[in-house]
Homo-oligomer: A and B are copies of this chain.
Amino acid sequence: MKIGKQSWRFENKVYIQETATSVGPLEAKGPLGKFFDVRYDEPYMGQKTWEQAEIQLIRGTLQTLFNKSGLHEKDICLALCGDLVNQLVPSHYAFREFNLPFLGMYGACATGIQSLLLSAVLVDSFQANHVIAGASSHTMTVERQFRNPVEYGGPKPETAQNTIMGAGLALVSRKPSPVRIESATAGIIVDAGQKNPNDMGSAMAPAAAQSLMQHLDDLGLNEDYYDMIVTGDLAKCGTPVFINILKQKGIEVEDIHSDCGNLIYSDKQKVFSGGSGAGCCPVVTFGYLCDLLKHQKVKRVLVLATGALLNPLIMQQKESIPCIAHAVALVSEAE
Residues of chain A touching chain B, judged by Cβ–Cβ distance below 8 Å, are 1-2, 5-6, 8, 49, 51-52, 74, 77-78, 82, 84-89, 92-93, 95-96, 98-108, 114, 117-118, 121-122, 124-129, 145, 186-191, 309-314, 317, 319, 322, 324, 326
Contact = CB atoms under 8 A, between A and B. Distances in A.
Contacts of A92: 189, 309, 322, 324
Given A87-B108, A100-B188, A103-B117, 13 more contacts: A5-B101, A49-B317, A51-B313, A84-B87, A86-B87, A88-B309, A89-B310, A89-B311, A89-B313, A93-B319, A96-B191, A106-B106, A124-B127
A66 B202 CA distance: 33
A57 to B, nearest CB: 15
B127 A86 contact: no
A12 B324 CA distance: 32
B187 A101 contact: yes
A72 to B, nearest CB: 13
Nearest to A322: B96
Nearest to A100: B188
The 6 closest A-B pairs by CB, nearest first: A125-B125, A101-B186, A92-B309, A104-B106, A96-B322, A96-B189
Contacts of A88: 106, 309
B82 A106 contact: yes
A104 B114 contact: yes
Contacts of A5: 74, 101
Contact of A77 (B2, B95, B319): B2
11 contacts: A2-B128, A78-B186, A87-B310, A89-B311, A92-B322, A95-B189, A96-B322, A103-B186, A121-B122, A122-B127, A125-B125
A195 to B, nearest CB: 13
A103 B105 contact: yes
Contacts of A310: 87, 89
A95 B188 CA distance: 9
Contacts of A103: 105, 107, 114, 117-118, 186, 326
A102 B188 contact: yes
Given A88-B309, A311-B85, A6 B101 contact: yes
Contacts of A77: 2
